[in-house]
Amino acid sequence: MDLFHNLAIGFSTAAQPANLLYAFSGCLLGTLIGVLPGLGPLATIAMLLPITYALPPEAALIMLAGIYYGAQYGGSTTAIVVNLPGESSSVVTTIDGYQMAKQGRAGVALSTAAIGSFFAGCVATLALAALAGPLTAAALLFGPKEFFALMILGLILASVLSSGPFIEGVGMVVLGMLLSLVGTDLSSGTQRFAFGVPQLFDGLDFVPLAMGIFGFAEIVKNLEQDDKLSLVTQKIANLFPTREDFRRMIPAMLRGTTLGTLLGVLPGGGAVLSSFASYTLEKKLSKHPEQFGKGAIEGIAGPESANNAGAQTSFIPLLTLGVPSNVVMALMVGAMNIHNIQPGPEVMTKNPALFWGLIASMWVGNLMLLILNLPLVGLWVKLLTIPYRYLFPAIMVFCSIGVYSINGGTFEIYEAAAFCVFGYVLIKLQLPAAPLLLGLVLGPAIEENFRRAMVLSRGDASVFLTSPLSAGLLAAAAVAVILITLPAIRARREEALQE
Amino acid sequence: MMARFAIRDQRAFAAGALFLGFAIFFYVVALGYPAGTAARMGPGYFPRMLAIVLAAIGLAVMVRAMRSTAERQPLRQWDWKGLAWVTGSVILFALLLFPLGLVGSLFVLIVVSSKASHEFTWKGALANAAVLIALCLLVFVYGLGLRLPVWPALFN
């Protein structure tokens, strides 16, 4: 069968000793940085990006994927042990995870998260492998208007899922798209919004922007809060869930995995949506809803499986359609561009070893995390005891060197400093940064496809509605907008997204 | 901003104003680029379209912030000092990287940024600088072979 043939290609790439080593170091470094409070996968990947510049493309992507899962895993550890989510997808893990930790069951909570993530990772790898072929074939049917509609859907869903009012999320998307216009207009060669600064002719770089907003501005915010971490001080002794624990966590894992695998594929979806949805589902189905928030193991097993499955299947739109579905995937686009890979349907046909190798290495990475993390949990927890006053200068050092090494010039460092101020303004105004970054990344492709579609239709905008596929995608976007503006659903969403 | 004017949600009002400000800026600059027609769009068409959308969103957010049903939300306190130390240390790093080399500029970055913490001590900051500089040299310069100026330009 094709699937097994492809997976065999993948595993022969992923299992090369060098690539195993890169996957391993990616997982290790990702966990190491991701476990530090306030550093989510995005900041972790951005910081570690320069390490992968010198590697061959396969190795670089394999390592970055490892960093991603590692950082996400590290985020769960912080969520459970210090009640501090590393990023929004581990917000729900804090609810029951920290309660379990306070009851002296931190070890069980951590191993539940690990086992759930691993199981979900296995299933999602298979789903990714099985879906990649058909979706890539579908992508070849896409013309400019379909791509335009798909990206609009993705951006709408991303704004729906961001915290804060929907309209402000859309505003951030549009602002991001405007920022993406900085640089050379490809069709006419005109310099737009560059003001004669040569470093801006290629546009605003994604990495200094992400570092400024998610690295530096986040530090200013953390310094201001000034409160002590509520670290669980008991020794983490028992890692093994009891038989009763298993009985309760297995069904939750199965449901979480299914939910995450499906929701991850949605543009705009991914880990965050999956984990929230899974928590809500578990609470609804449970015979003991009153235990939720007081240390219910289902509240960890479900969301942790869901977010890992979602994280993995969110690679599907990127690898098959070339459309990043969330901010982390947007950063992966940046990483691929550095290695001259244009994400999209061509990757699979032109470079099967890279494509399937990446997929296979995801499974390998999940296995490594399981083996790596449970025994080392004590070490990760120790890392958390480093006082923030020593930690944040270190983060600043890594970010600054990382930004410098993009082009080997200081311009990007100034750019990051400017976005630190901008990011701080966003934090103060409670405006979500994720939609801004997605708008920034998707902006050029949206403009290009929009202009091409309009040329083909001789300026008739109704083509977007007369083509069945693009009309369907736009209709889905419209439904999302209508649903989100209905009062009843708005209230539910606020409940689910509140932090 | 005066609270007796009906701006109940100051946060949202400021957010809307931010959108509107950016929209005006981009629109005005985009007026300098040819717009073309819908069938043959010039470089100015898409930016103007986006700027109009953003302006509409900005206005909507501002109007909503003034409605009597809006939740009362004052603007939050700003920590200008922390922001200045952190941003300033990054700018200093960029300025000093070539004249002072990595060792000197990292030293400045670490010490100046440490000042942003309420728990700043000279002893702690200096020790941290020593450890981090050694780590960076090991990892980035000798380990990964990144091309960075290590020592001050004077010595080269």
Q: Does A4 touch chain B (CB under 8 A)?
A: no
- Per-residue pLDDT tens digits of chain A, which is 499 residues long: 577 888 888 888 888 899 999 999 999 999 888 887 777 788 888 888 878 877 888 899 899 989 998 988 888 888 888 777 766 777 788 888 888 888 888 888 888 998 999 999 999 988 888 888 888 887 778 888 988 998 898 888 878 777 778 899 999 999 999 999 998 888 888 889 988 888 888 888 888 888 899 889 988 988 887 555 566 666 666 777 888 888 888 999 999 999 998 888 876 666 777 888 888 888 888 888 888 888 888 888 999 999 889 888 888 888 888 888 788 888 888 788 878 888 888 888 888 888 888 888 888 888 888 888 777 877 777 777 778 888 889 889 988 988 888 778 889 999 999 999 999 999 999 998 888 988 888 888 899 899 999 988 888 888 888 888 899 989 988 988 888 777 666 666 666 665 4
Q: How many CB atoms lie within 10 A of CB B120?
A: 14
Q: What is the DSSP letter of B137?
A: I
From chain B, the residues in CB contact with A459 under 8 A are 37-40
Q: Which residue has the tokens 């609009």?
A: A152
Nearest Cα residue in chain A from B146: A405
Provide the token pair at A209: 């922007």
d(CA A470, CA A152): 10
Question: For residue range B58-100, what is the model confidence (pLDDT) as tens digits?
Answer: 999 999 888 877 777 788 788 888 899 999 999 999 999 989 9
Amino acid identity for residue A115 in this structure: I
3-state secondary structure of A191: strand
Give A184's strand partners: A191
Q: Do A168 and B38 make contact, defined as CB atoms within 8 angstroms?
A: no
Helices (H), A236-342: 243-265, 271-285, 298-313, 315-316, 327-338
Between B125 and B70, residue with greater pLDDT: B125
Which class for A198: exposed (0-12), middle (13-18), buried (19 or more C-beta within 10 A)?
exposed
Instruction: Write the residue in B58, B75, B146 that is nearest to A171 by C-beta.
Output: B58
Q: Which residues contact A334 (CB under 8 A, 6 or more apart)?
A: A49, A205, A206, A207, A441
Q: Pick from B22, B79, B128: which is nearest to A178 by CB?
A: B22
Using the Cβ of A190 and the Cβ atoms of chain B, whether some distance falls under 8 Å is answered with yes
> How many Cα atoms are found within 13 Å in the side-chain-facing hemisphere of A339?
24
- Give the residues across from B73 on adjacent strands: B9
Under a CB-based contact definition with an 8 Å cutoff, are residues A467 and A145 in contact? yes
CA distance from start to end of chain A: 46
Taking residue A465's Cβ as centre, other Cβ atoms within 10 Å add up to: 13
Q: Which tokens is A411 given? A: 């311009």
Nearest CA in chain A to B64: A167
Of B33, B47, B97, the CB nearest to A410: B97
Using a CB-CB cut-off of 8 Å, the residues of chain A touching B57 are 167-168, 170-171, 174
**Displacement of CA B59 from its chain's centroid (Å):** 24
Separation of alpha carbons A112 and A7, rounded Å: 28
d(CA A412, CA A334): 15
Nearest to A393 among B26, B94, B113 (CB): B113
> A425 and chain B: CB distance < 8 Å anywhere?
yes
A450–B contact, CB cutoff 8 A: yes
Q: In the prediction, which pLDDT does B129 show?
A: 93
CB A26 within 8 A of CB A64: yes
Inter-chain residue contact B91 with A178, CB threshold 8 Å: no
Nearest-CA distance from A24 to chain B in Å?
17
Q: Strand, helix or coil at B76?
A: coil
CB-CB contact of A308 with A263 (8 Å):
no
CA angle B34, B37, B43 (to 5 degrees): 35
pLDDT value, residue B28: 95
DSSP A286-313: -S-GGGTTS--THHHHHHHHHHHHHHHH
A422 lies within 8 A of chain B by CB: no
**DSSP-based three-state secondary structure for B84:** helix
Q: Choose the closest CB to B39 out of A187, A219, A454.
A: A454
Name chain B contacts of A460, Cβ cutoff 8 Å.
38
- Which is it for the CA torsion A182, A184, A187, A189, positive or negative? positive
Q: Find the helix or strand (DSSP H, E) in which A449 lies.
A: helix A434-456
Which site among A29, A155, A178 would you substitute to test the B interface, given the most B Cβ atoms closer than 10 Å to its Cβ? Answer: A178
pLDDT score at A499: 42
What is the rounded distance in angstroms from the CA atom of residue B37 to the CA atom of residue B35? 7
In chain A, positions 226-245, which contact chain B (CB-CB < 8 Å)? 226
What is the model's pLDDT at position B61? 93
Query: Considering only CA atoms, which of A118, A199, A245, A456 is closest in space to residue B94?
Result: A199
The per-residue pLDDT for A471 is 92
Q: Which residue has 């086992």 as its token pair?
A: A115
- Joined tokens for residue B59: 């206005």
What is residue A496's predicted lDDT score, i.e. its pLDDT? Answer: 63
CA distance B25 to chain A (A): 10
Share of chain B above pLDDT 90, in %: 50
One-character DSSP codes across A8-72: HHHHHHHTSHHHHHHHHHHHHHHHHHHTSTT--HHHHHHHHGGGGTTS-HHHHHHHHHHHHHHHH
Give CA–CA dist A434/A164, Å, rounded.
12
Q: How many CB atoms sit inside 10 A of residue A354's CB?
A: 24
Asked if B136 and A397 come within 8 Å (Cβ–Cβ), the reply is: yes
Average pLDDT, chain B: 87
Short-list A47, A78, A77, A405, CA closest to A214? A47
pTM of the model: 0.85
Torsion of CA A135, A136, A141, A146, to 10 degrees: 70
Query: What's the CA gap between A332 and A47, in Å, rounded?
Result: 13
Instruction: Give the number of other CB atoms < 10 A from CB of residue A469.
Output: 15
Can you give the length of chain A in residues?
A: 499
The structure tokens 């702690």 sit at: B124
Chain A residues with CB-CB distance to B148 below 8 A: 401, 404-405
Q: Do A404 and B124 lie within an 8 Å CB cutoff?
A: no
Q: How far apart are CA A171 and CA B19, in angstroms?
A: 7
**For residues A260 and B3, which has the higher predicted lDDT (pLDDT)?**
A260
Q: Cα separation of B35 and B43, whole Å?
A: 6
| DSSP assignment of A399-442 | HHHHHHHHHTSSHHHHHHHHHHHHHHHHHHTT--SHHHHHHHHH
Our CA-based measurement puts residue B73 at a distance from the nearest CA of chain A, in whole angstroms, of 10
